[in-house]
Structure 1
Amino acid sequence: MSQHEDGRALHEACVEAGVAYAGDFLKVRRDRVRLPDGRLAQREYIVHPGAVMVVPLLDDGRFVLERQFRYPLGRVMIEFPAGKLDPGESGLRCAMRELREETGYMAREWARAGVLHNAIAYSTEGIEVWFARGLTPGAASLDEGEFVDVFAAAPQELDAWVRSGEVTDAKTLIGLLWWQHWQCGRWCPDWLPVDDTNQASSPP
């Protein structure tokens, strides 16, 4: 395989790393890089700790979804439950924690669908997507300052909201698409049983 075929000829090398902004949650880097033709350029991008998203499936076939106000867009968005990884936290542990905290639900089975990179031009963020089924309800435990409306909707409803433009969240669009691949038999998730009575100490 040539360098052009495997992409090596397109690589950019960092020659000077810098931090433009460091906040409590995100860091913005400003690096100088050497382009494939030898010229120098500047790259600004957000360093993100990573996140998970859960596609929770009720026994009657409906999804568990959330409405949440997203300040940068100034509007309420419909999304699957999601949240950022804590330092050293595995994707599965984070998925279980976020589902329990935001919706109150716990799940008996989990399957990892994959990872999506939702803003490759300016962010390192990767979102690990998990399917969850065998749900049991409970009390949510939202973070301070977090306000979420949890509700259930049929796949056909979510698909209609996507088609009409009411749902535009990238990770939710991908979650629906990957669920459709599973339902059509294109994907076969490997389900992991988890003790839903002891998820706080479940395997990583």
Structure 2
Amino acid sequence: MATTKQSKVVKVEPLDHKDAKWATLVKITYTDPEGVERTWESGERLTRPEGADIDGVGILAVLQDPSKPDDSPRILLQKQWRPPVDAIVIEVPAGLIDPNETAEVCAVRELKEETGYVGKVMGGDFGVSPIMCNDPGFCNTNLRMIHVTVDLSLPENQNPQPSLEDNEFIETFSVPLRDLWDECKKFEKEGYAIDARVGTLAEGVECAKRWKL
């Protein structure tokens, strides 16, 4: 498989609305609390299925082997070059939701397709996050984070093989969840970009450690 390091931006040019397939730019007219009419430029996704309340999911996949209870849990991460930032980005697995698909089903499907791992959505009220807006000052994109466990002792997880599309070049790896903050700092020094979802997860883990939550 070709490495993501071979990717590069060749050209950047304006995109006409009629040619947009994935996202477009709109001008929103609104009134502020004092009744003053104002405008806002916003990015808008064109891929959200009718009736869906989210565009897609991000996946917090934790790798554990029940036969090794003393091993530190690991978080599944990916390296993927992203044209808008012209850099290889450290990300969690993620994907767009299909029509009539639940967030949980989407997460398990995308995890299998992108990484080869078969996961299980965590039970209780922690399995599915509230709806999160990626960058509400710029675009309407939103998602749910789905929290998934991957049992490394299962036969289907012994030799995971992703089913990537021909335009996907993704490298999957894992790091100890407790070390995620230090890993992000290291990746930044090495020239990688850090996806906000990964960075936020790292901050949460580090806050829990430092304030003994």
Counterpart check, 1:171 vs 2:197: yes
- Greater mean alpha carbon deviation, residues 35-44 or residues 96-105: 35-44
Q: 3-state SS of the aligned residue for 1:77? A: strand
Counterpart check, 1:77 vs 2:89: yes
**Cα–Cα, structure 1 residues 156 and 175, in superposed 2: closer, same or farther, change >3 Å?**
closer
Q: Write the deviation string for residues 59-81 of structure 1: whole angstroms up to 9, x where unpaired.
A: 14111110000111111111111
Partner of 2:32: 35
Counterpart check, 1:112 vs 2:128: yes
How many residues are paired up? Answer: 167
Distance 2:212 2:107 in 1: 24
**Cα–Cα, structure 1 residues 125 and 147, in superposed 2: closer, same or farther, change >3 Å?**
same
**Cα–Cα, structure 1 residues 182 and 30, in superposed 2: closer, same or farther, change >3 Å?**
same
More strand by share: 1
Give matches, 1:55-204, under 5 Å.
Answer: 55-59=60-64, 60=71, 61-110=73-122, 111-135=127-151, 136-137=156-157, 138-164=160-186, 166=188, 168-177=194-203
Alpha-carbon distance, 1:46 to partner: 1.8
Letter paired with 1:120 = P
Q: What is the identity percentage for the equivalent residue pairs of Structure 1 and Structure 2?
A: 23
Q: 3-state SS of the aligned residue for 1:106? A: coil
Distance 2:41 2:162 in 1: 37
Alpha-carbon distance, 1:96 to partner: 0.9
Distance 1:98 1:78 in 2: 17
Q: With structure 1 as the length reference, what TM-score do the two structures score?
A: 0.71
**Cα–Cα, structure 1 residues 168 and 36, in superposed 2: closer, same or farther, change >3 Å?**
same
**8 Å Cα contact 1:26-1:47 kept in structure 2:** yes
Partner of 1:51: 56
Letter paired with 1:37 = E
Alpha-carbon distance, 1:181 to partner: 7.8
Q: 3-state SS of the aligned residue for 1:142? A: coil
**Cα–Cα, structure 1 residues 127 and 178, in superposed 2: closer, same or farther, change >3 Å?**
farther
Distance 2:134 2:76 in 1: 22
**Cα–Cα, structure 1 residues 133 and 81, in superposed 2: closer, same or farther, change >3 Å?**
same
Alpha-carbon distance, 1:36 to partner: 2.1
Q: 3-state SS of the aligned residue for 1:145? A: coil
Distance 2:148 2:59 in 1: 7
Q: Unpaired runs of 5+ in structure 2?
A: 1-15, 49-54, 65-70
Alpha-carbon distance, 1:139 to partner: 2.0
Letter paired with 1:64 = L
**Cα–Cα, structure 1 residues 173 and 122, in superposed 2: closer, same or farther, change >3 Å?**
same
Q: Unpaired runs of 5+ in structure 1?
A: 1-19, 187-204
Alpha-carbon distance, 1:126 to partner: 1.3
Q: Write the deviation string for residues 116-135 of structure 1: whole angstroms up to 9, x where unpaired.
A: 22201011111211111133
